[in-house]
Amino acid sequence: MVHSMMRELIVLSYAVVSIMGPQSSGKSTLLNHLFHTNFREMDAFMGRSQTTKGIWIAKCAGLQPCTLVMDLEGTDGRERGENDTAFEKQSALFALAVSDIVLINMWCHDIGREHAANKPLLKTVFQVMMRLFSPRKTTFYTPLEHLEPVLREDIQKIWDSVPKLEAHMETLLSEFFNVRYWFIVLFIILLKVANLRQRFFHSIAPGEIARDRRRVVPALGFSFSAQHIWKAIKENKDLDLPAHKVMVASVRCEEIANEKYASFTSNENWHSLEEAIKSGPVAGFGKKLNSILYTSLSEYDTEAIYFDEGVRSTKRKHLEEKLLQVVQPAYQSMLGHLRIKTLEKFKEAFDKALKGDEGFSVAACKCIKTYIASFNTGYADATVELANWDSFKIRDKLRRDINDHVASVRAAKLSELTSSYEAKLTEALSGPVEALLDGANKETWPLIRKLLQRETESILSGLSTALSGFDMDEQTQKKTLTSLENHARGVVEGKAKEEAGRVLIRMKDRFSTLFNHDSDSMPRVWTGKEEVRSITKTAHSAALKLLSVMAAIRLDDNVDNIENTLCSALLDTKGIASVTKWGSTTSDPLASSTWDKVPPNKILITPVHCKTLWRQYRAETEYCVYSIFSLNYYLSFYFQEANKRSNNWLPPPWAIVALIILGFNEFLTLLRNPLYVGIIFIGYLMLKALWVQLDISGEFSHGVLPGIISLSTKFIPTIMSLLKKLAEEGPAAANNNPQSTNASASKSLPNTTSPSLTASSTVTSSANGTKEE
């Protein structure tokens, strides 16, 4: 009941009045008339006995402020006996501890008595009050004004006889109690009670009877405080009311804080905000969260304002810490979303800026400044005012992420830019270098050096201009340019190594080119009159020159003697196997793995390898040289025989005699039939024309088998060409010499011979023309 009444109050605007005195002295009756309560009263017709047992409490009606009235069990009652005074002391001490006003009711004829005047009880109460932390005035009211001096004297004696602590040896009774006396006569009780009731209106106001509000427990903590005080009294513990007040404040503030914490965790606005933050940043996050936090804390402050300030502040701080622990994950999530969103926007803006005309460094600085400011704005919007959370880590993380992205983009762009210029440099050098090495001569490496210098300077100039937009320090830029220069040299060296791996093929091609072609680069026709040895030596010298060029990389201006060494060791027959008179050979200049005056890392083909390559080259070209020597010998013999035959074209005399004897019958046959002579003559002309057209003598000059193969491919086309010309010449002769039909019939034989002649003449002229061509 007390707790339900106290819930109506949240401040200190209440008073507690208690009454004690002898049993059956009219305490309950006085309270019922004075405060309009309904305590049970004694029925005189039923005899005098104990009416109020224990402690009863009721709320006073019609008084401001709210007043609670406690009716205590009477003292000196026969029901508890002479020796059972523990409850009297406990109840009196309890009333004194919790009450602002204590009424001591007694009969006037009991004044001056020991037990009837409650002297032992007051002495015990005063002893306990001396143990309190600090003085607090509790008002005593005694209803007997004419006996005030006697009562005051008795009370002072009781106070003086009470053993005191050293701290209160000089403490006056007035510092602990405001003693007032009031006389009530039974027959005028109603009038006196009405006057006394007026003293309880606004009793806690300054200057009134309950004006001392020090260490008063706020109304919401009264129930818990009363229970704790009674428990301490029952356990015979000394009461420390200031510590008790702190304890009550601690418990009640803890309860209020827990209620506000539970209210916050179940707040719909907080749950909505917490759910929303899981999917992304929330606009106005800090403002919304601060509003919810301040609402919970303000409710706590309102309910706990009248409790001990130190305890209230401590519990409020604990409540703040608990609430901040609840909201911190959401706050961190908000900052995480804000950081990620800012980083994504930065990346998009940075990529877009790089596509424009701005340089890399300018775009990076501008974007970093813009989006760091954007993050700061978002951070300010998400700030929780109650928390002193350091944002250094999240800011540092964002800045590191941005710097890492810029560094990765910078590295990618630089790599892309460098790769682009390296590709250009590779394209500019590979083809020309390969061509120069293919036509290797003494000017090859000087030309390669000039090419390398020219192309490298051109590419480096473009790269240097491109790097200016990256705001690179001089050392890094120099390192990048040096890397490109090394790449250019690497391209040349790589191409040289590649060509050095094919040097044997190149040497054989060089030999074949010079050996099989003349000085005008025309295919060489071997007639047997050429100087094969001289041609072979020239081709070998050119191949050896190519080997000397490919033996080492010469990108510097250093002079070496590789060519002379190779020539003296491989071309000079005296140097190949010079033998002393003692039969031992001299030292081999190629019996080494390095070249004189050439760094090892610049050697492409070692001397020993050159010697091996040359042996392989000579072995593979020897057959070609031997074949040409054999061919020259055969052609020389063939042409000698041909000359002999051309000088004596008639057959031998015995052949002529045999032809005459064996052909005499055929000759007579021809004489008997002259037509055969015409046919033979026409056949002769046709054969003559074919001889001229096919150039049979020229075809067989290269050999019998090549001549037969060549004639077999030209025979049919030549026949077809002759027939076509005969077909064209026949109509033309008919149009130029028109004759009548009768004349043609009378002279059939001469006209049959005439086309044949004409045809023979045509064929002959055509053949002659072909021959002349």
pLDDT in tens, 20-63: 777 777 788 788 877 888 887 776 556 556 777 778 888 887 77
Element (H, E) at 483: helix 474-501
CA-to-CA dists, residue 339 to 335, 368, 375, 574, angstroms: 6, 13, 7, 85
Give residue 738's pLDDT. Answer: 46
The residues of the chain scoring below 50 in pLDDT are 1-10, 132-134, 137, 141-144, 146, 185-188, 239-240, 574-585, 738-773
Which residues, at least 6 apart from 229, have a Cβ–Cβ distance to it below 8 Å? 94, 97, 98, 239, 244
- Same domain, yes or no: 569 and 678: no
Report the pLDDT value the prediction gives residue 245, as an integer from 0 to 100: 65
pLDDT score recorded for residue 751: 35
- Whether 385 and 292 map to the same domain: the answer is yes
Judgement on whether residues 35 and 94 belong to the same structural domain of the protein? yes
pLDDT reported for residue 760: 31
Q: How far is CA 674 from the centre of its chain?
A: 112
pLDDT at position 45: 59
What is the predicted pLDDT for the residue at 46? 60
Judgement on whether residues 495 and 512 belong to the same structural domain of the protein: no
675 falls within a domain: yes
pTM given for the model: 0.51
Q: Which amino acid is at 33?
A: H
Exposed e or buried b per residue across 715-727, where buried means at least 16 C-beta atoms within 10 angstroms of its C-beta: eeebeeebeeebe
Q: Domain for residue 679, yes or no? A: yes
Q: Are 154 and 213 contained in the same domain? A: yes
Whether residue 541 sits in one domain with residue 439: no
Residues 487 and 554 in one domain: no
What are the residues facing 178 on neighbouring strands? 139
Based on the domain organization, do 248 and 330 belong to the same domain?
A: yes
User: Which of 501, 526, 548 is at the close of a domain?
Assistant: 501
Do residue 475 and residue 561 come from a single domain? Answer: no
Q: Per-residue pLDDT tens for 261-270? A: 999 889 898 9
Tokens of 111: 């004044």
Q: Considering the domain boundaries, does residue 629 fall inside one? A: no
135-161 burial by CB neighbour count: b if 16+ within 10 A, else e?
bbbbbbbbbbeeeeeebeebbeebbee
Q: Which residues lie across from 55 on neighbouring strands? A: 72
Q: How far is the C-alpha of 722 from the C-alpha of 730, rounded, in Å?
A: 13
Give the residue among 361, 344, 340, 469 at the shortest CA–CA distance from 407.
361
Does residue 766 fall inside a structural domain?
A: yes
Q: Under 8 Å CB-to-CB from 672, ≥6 apart: which residues? A: none
Owning domain of residue 696 = 662-734+747-772
Shared-domain flag, residues 335 and 384: yes
Q: What is the structure's pLDDT at 9?
A: 47
pLDDT digits (tens, 9 = 90+) for 111-128: 666 666 666 666 655 665
Domain count, the chain: 5
What sign has the CA pseudo-torsion 96, 99, 101, 105? negative
Which of 599, 622, 645 lies at the terminal end of a domain, its last residue?
622
Q: Which class for 320: exposed (0-12), middle (13-18), buried (19 or more C-beta within 10 A)?
A: middle
- Tokens linked to 708: 């037969």
The strand order across the sheet containing 177-181 reads: 55-59, 66-72, 14-20, 101-104, 138-142, 177-181
- 680 and 701 housed in the same domain: yes
Pair 34, 45: CB distance under 8 Å: no
Residues 250 and 221 both lie in one domain: no
Last residue of a domain, one of 472, 501, 530: 501
Q: Where are the beta strands (DSSP E) in 511-666?
A: none
Domain assignment present for residue 481? The answer is yes
Output the six-digit token pair for 525. Answer: 């026709």
Question: Within 10 A of 288 (CB to CB), how many other CB atoms are there?
Answer: 17
H or E element that contains 630: helix 607-647
